[in-house]
Amino acid sequence: MGEFVPARAHEYHARVLSNVRLSRRYFLLRLERPRDFIDPAAGQFVHVAVPTPDDRFFLRRPFSIHDCTRDAIELVIVEVGPGSQALRRAREGDTLHFYGPLGHAYPVLPEKRIVAIGGGVGLAPLYFYGFRAPGKLGEGYRLLYGARTREDLFLEHVALERTGVSLATDDGSYGFKGNVVQLAAAVIEEEPADVLFSCGPTVMMKAVQKLADRLAIPHYASLENRMGCALGACRACVVPTKLDGGSPYRTVCHDGPVFDASVLQWDELPVP
C-alpha cells in the first residue's frame, strides 16, 4: 500500500469554496487547499470537524479525497446522518477544520492492468487514483462504477463518460443493468485484469474479494469504518484480519484504509 507518513499530516482550517448538490443525497464540498497541504495519494482521507455551536459533534468524520488541485480539495459526501447533513449546510466562505492527509493509499502499479470497482462514495478514491492523483495512470486503468440510478452517477458534475470507465445502474437507467460486480465479471472476461481495487459498500467489496479469489489475482480494498481519533490510538476502527503479530486486529485509520483484501476476515466486517 502507498506509504503513509503520519508526521506529514497536519491540522488545517480551510475556507469553503463551494458546496454543490450532486443528487438527492450526494454533494460535492470544495475546500481551499492550504498552502502546505502535501500532495495526497489516492485512498487517503481527511478527518473533518463538523461545524456546530455546541459539542454535539465531538467526533470528526472521515472523508476520502476525491480530487486535490493546486487550489482546492474536493470531497464527495453522501448524507447518512447528522454529521454529513451539517456539512451539507456549509456555505461558501465558511471555515472548516480538518486533519490530514491520513492513511495508507492504494499501491501505485504502473505496469499492471488495474480494474477498480466502486459503489456509492467509493467513487472518490478510485476516481482520484485513475484520473487526478499525481502519477495518474490513464490507459492502464479501468474504472467500473455502480449506482442505484442514473441520478446517483452525477454525470453533470463528474467526468465519468470517458474512455476506460463503464457504468452500471441497479435499475438500468444508465449503462449496464445490474450490480457493478456483475459488470466487473463480464468486463474481465473480455479483458483480463492483473489487480482489482475496490471501495464501496462492504457487501460489494466482499463480492469483489470472491471474484479476486476466483481469478487468483490481488485485490486492494478501502474500508470505510466508523472512526474516533483517526490517529491509531482509540481503536474504534479496528477490523479482524488473518494477520498475526500479537493481535489479528488492525486499525482502518492507521493500517488502512486500503488493505490487501486477502488478509481481511470478510465475514466478520460490519455491513453498514
Residues that bind ligand FES (CB under 6 A): 227-230, 232-237, 251, 253
Binding site for ligand FAD (CB under 6 A): 45, 61-64, 75-78, 80-84, 121, 124, 224-227, 252, 257, 272
Q: Which does 236 bind (CB under 5 to 8 A by kind): ligand FAD, ligand FES, none?
A: ligand FES
User: What is the smallest separation between the CB atom of 230 and ligand FES, expressed in angstroms?
Assistant: 5
User: What is the smallest separation between the CB atom of 64 and ligand FES, expressed in angstroms?
Assistant: 15
Tell me the sheet residues that pair with 241: 264
Nearer to ligand FES, 80 or 233 (CB): 233
Quote the CA–CA distance of 157 and 167 in Å, as a whole number: 15
- The DSSP call for residue 139 is G
**Selection from 109, 75, 68 nearest residue 90 by Cα:** 75
72: three-class secondary structure by DSSP: strand
Nearer to ligand FAD, 76 or 188 (CB): 76
Q: Which does 228 bind (CB under 5 to 8 A by kind): ligand FES, ligand FAD, none?
A: ligand FES
Quote the CA–CA distance of 70 and 124 in Å, as a whole number: 18
Q: Which does 234 bind (CB under 5 to 8 A by kind): ligand FES, ligand FAD, none?
A: ligand FES
Nearer to ligand FES, 20 or 80 (CB): 80
User: What is the smallest separation between the CB atom of 47 and ligand FES, expressed in angstroms?
Assistant: 9
Rg (CA), the chain: 18
User: What is the smallest separation between the CB atom of 10 and ligand FES, expressed in angstroms?
Assistant: 18
- CB proximity list for 233: less than 8 A, separation 6 or greater: none
Nearer to ligand FES, 26 or 63 (CB): 63
**Selection from 143, 122, 133 nearest residue 73 by Cα:** 133
Nearer to ligand FES, 208 or 237 (CB): 237
Crossing angle for the helix pair 180-190 and 202-215, to the nearest 10 degrees: 20
The residue to which cell 467489496 is assigned: 205
User: What is the smallest separation between the CB atom of 105 and ligand FES, expressed in angstroms?
Assistant: 17
Contact 67, 44 (CB under 8 A): no
Nearer to ligand FES, 196 or 237 (CB): 237
User: What is the smallest separation between the CB atom of 6 and ligand FAD, expressed in angstroms?
Assistant: 15
**Selection from 226, 205, 207, 209 nearest residue 217 by Cα:** 209
